[in-house]
Amino acid sequence: MALSEAEKETVIQFDESTNLARVYTASWTVARTLKKAGFKPIRRDDGAWWFEIPIEAMSIQGDKETTKIG
């Protein structure tokens, strides 16, 4: 059974105890984007992917500026 658009979620989790962010996604688009950026999934299971990426590789783009996370 295919997932609905609402079920194709992406969750990014990180804390200050490590320099890695854990990314879970059920979105093929997000998984493909992360793979194109050079990140390899650490796990794949039934239409879902898990990645660990350095926090320094993450940024948030706002209307006025882009801010690095790490």
Tokens of 22: 């854990």
The residues spanned by each domain of the chain are: 5-68
Model pLDDT for residues 23-68, shown as the tens digit of each residue: 999 999 999 999 999 999 999 998 899 999 999 999 999 999 999 9
* Distance between CA atoms of residues 23 and 4, nearest Å: 20
- Residue 17: predicted pLDDT: 92
Q: Is the pLDDT of residue 1 over 70?
A: no
The whole-model pTM stands at 0.85
Greatest alpha-carbon pair distance for the chain in Å reads 41
- Residue 7: predicted pLDDT: 85
Q: What is the DSSP letter of 39?
A: -
